[in-house]
Amino acid sequence: MASLKEVKERIVSVSSTQQITKAMKMVAAAKLRRAQDRIIQLRPYSEKLGGLLANVSSGNSEEGMNTYTEVRDVKRVLFVPVTSDRGLCGAFNSNIFKAVKNALTDEEYANAKVEILPIGKKAFDFFRKKNDPVIEEHWNAFSNLSFDVVRAAAEEAMEGFASGKYDKVVLVYNEFKNVATQIVRTEQFLPIVELATEEGASNTNTDYIYEPSKDYIIDELIPKSLKIQMYKSVLESNASEHGARMTAMGKATDNAADLLKELKLTYNRTRQAAITKEILEIVGGAEALASD
């Protein structure tokens, strides 16, 4: 059985840890509110832009062909995993790594050369340790998260696809559903195979007047839509990170409380055992003196 000093030290240690996890939960909750507001505000714009692009490009499969819709044999593929900069958020980051690993088992990538464009320090460190080819310019996007920062990463992926450096670009990120639930998404970023509206959205084509031309409008909308798509993925991941950390720290705080109860019970039992032992020793000594 542990000594009273050891149990007391553990109680102090667990109490300190509980205070830290409780503070981290509160910080994550405050950051989550701001991140959640940003993604909620962006979603309608992203969906509307996608619907507009679908309407403009419908029935125009050959005439409206764009650089970013070209389907090729996949010989070189770029994965864009979006993680956090810090840990202590449960399985948030490891789920992304597993998703990339599972995606690479697909027969389509059996003989393909894979390159990684990580967004988030955890993804950068993980794939660099595995000695995978890593693009190092955009991993710290969360240090100053803005559309301009994410746009630079999107443009690099788009330019690589347009130039033929990559035949396919895949996004892997956590979609924010609620505080306790994050859904891992593996989405094809490029090429744009099918320009369709969101599920449940109206498929009614709108009669637009094009100026200067329909092809020009499509060529302008597609790059903008792709940049918004990547920005939305990063914002989804940002909100998911804070939700995951809030949940993880909440559970850690609860676990620390349960452990404290057990430690205090152990402390009291150990203390009672020590007192009983001392009493027995005194009684034994007194009896020995009396017998003499």
Instruction: Reply yes or no on whether 286 is catalytic.
Output: no
Contacts of 6 (CB under 8 A, 6+ apart): none
Q: What is the C-alpha separation between 133 and 193, in angstroms, rounded?
A: 26
Q: Count Cβ atoms within 10 A of the Cβ of residue 11 and give its class: 0-12 exposed, 13-18 middle, 19 or more buried.
A: middle
Q: Nearest Cα to 55, choosing from 187, 227, 218, 219?
A: 218
41: number of Cβ within 10 Å: 10
Q: How far is CA 20 from CA 9, 239, 255, 274, in A?
A: 17, 21, 13, 33
Q: What is the C-alpha separation between 118 and 91, in angstroms, rounded?
A: 18
168-178 and 181-190: which strand pairing? antiparallel
Query: Given 89, 100, 117, 218, which residue is catalytic?
Result: 89
Q: Which of the residues are catalytic?
A: 89
